[in-house]
Amino acid sequence: MTSKIKNLYYRLTPTPSSTTLPTAGFSKAPTAPALFPKTDPASDGDECVHDCSSCTIKYPSKFAIDEDEELYGHVKGWSTHLIVATGKSDWVRDVADEKGSIMEAVDKGTVKPSNGKLMLSASNIPLPEHDTESTRVLLLPAFTFIDNVTPSNVPDLITSHINKGPVNTSPLGQLPETASSPASPPEPEEKTSLQPALVTVPTLKSHPCPHQYLILLCSQKTRDARCGQSAPLLRREFERHLRPMGLYRDLHDERPGGVGIYFISHVGGHKFSANVMIYRKETPSQPSDATMTAAESSGSGQAAQCIWLARVRPEDCENIVRYTVLQGKLVKPERQLRGGFDRCKQLVSW
């Protein structure tokens, strides 16, 4: 298999001293229910064993996937996830081949992450409205937006933000050095002689992502038509269930709390479409309804969990919102869980 058809996070190799993921006491959960609890009708109600009865959205009749292969524990571990705003929902087959892009600069540059494997995704997060030269990225598990990113300052992005931020296997409460916006460089001394014009590199600026939860949907139809078909349908169905709860956030909605839904590029395993990655912030308590805790309303916090599902269909969305997004529970672990991590339990699937 050539590198061009591999997921980018398999290819992006950190420096030799950091090729092994830092475990810091983390261990592999032997089964899906050991990583995330399975719903129980006795405590969660009979709804957890029934698909949505009001769902009218259907996949195309020829939407066929692999229903037999075992899913759990077969994704390779990753340390951080960088999601690049492109304003698009489909991309060239290998997003790192997009000339002049942040994806190209990250994947093919000489400066690599020193804290483990980086998963790199293009996304439909909108481009800045008043800046045609730069874009923004979302760094996970830090749940941090970083603005003013250009190909020329990607090395600074890696060394000042990615390398200094938390990773999926750093325990909550034991935080590494916080990545903050670097101070503005000092003004150069005035020169009496004429100096050649210097290219100004924008200063990176970071701020917390306001959302409490993220739902990431693979939408890249240039890799697999099923991803391009499933993502818009699932987004509509997730939105239908989130709106009455006051939790839906569209691409331009930065109110604190709620659920952001983004399309991302290929994450591997398209034969198990649809792939859905759910990142959940740390909260003092896990709410079962739309009532936000203090941490939610402030928009602060890091990702405590990532739950990576596959074989997701529109009729699954109601219970995924009700139990998985809001409570961190699995409805169909044997059929749908590919992997993930829980930084509170210090467990991973790899």
pLDDT at residue 183 greater than cutoff 80 = no
In angstroms, the CA 86 to CA 121 distance is: 10
Cis bond leading into 141, ω under 30°? yes
Cα distances from 78 to residues 171, 209, 300, in angstroms, run 15, 20, 23
pLDDT at residue 18 greater than cutoff 70 = no
Beta strands in 159-231, from DSSP E residues, in sequence order:
205-208, 213-218
pLDDT at residue 238 greater than cutoff 70 = yes
**31 CB contacts (<8 Å, ≥6 apart)?**
72, 333
pLDDT cut 90: percent of the chain above it: 75
pTM: 0.85
Identify the band that residue 209 occupies on the pLDDT scale cut at 50, 70 and 90.
Answer: very high
Answer with the residue of higher pLDDT: 13 or 125.
Answer: 125
Same topology, domains 27-74+211-284+299-348 and 80-168+202-207? Answer is yes
Per the CB < 8 A criterion, the answer to whether 206 and 145 are in contact is yes
For residues 56-81, give the mean pLDDT: 94
Beta strands in the chain, from DSSP E residues, in sequence order:
27-28, 80-85, 118-123, 135-140, 144-149, 205-208, 213-218, 248-249, 259-264, 276-281, 303-309, 337-342, 347-348
Does 3.40.640.10 match the CATH number of domain 27-74+211-284+299-348? no
- Which one is the CATH code of 80-168+202-207: 3.40.30, 3.40.1000, 1.10.10, 3.30.1330? 3.40.30
pLDDT cut 70: percent of the chain above it: 80
- Where do the H-state alpha helices sit in the chain? 8-11, 32-35, 41-44, 102-108, 154-157, 225-242, 294-298, 317-319, 326-327, 333-336
Identify the band that residue 115 occupies on the pLDDT scale cut at 50, 70 and 90.
Answer: very high
Domain ranges in the chain? 27-74+211-284+299-348, 80-168+202-207
Pairing assessment for the beta strands 337-342 and 303-309 based on DSSP bridges: antiparallel
pLDDT at residue 6 greater than cutoff 60 = no
In angstroms, the CA 307 to CA 36 distance is: 8
pLDDT at residue 29 greater than cutoff 90 = yes
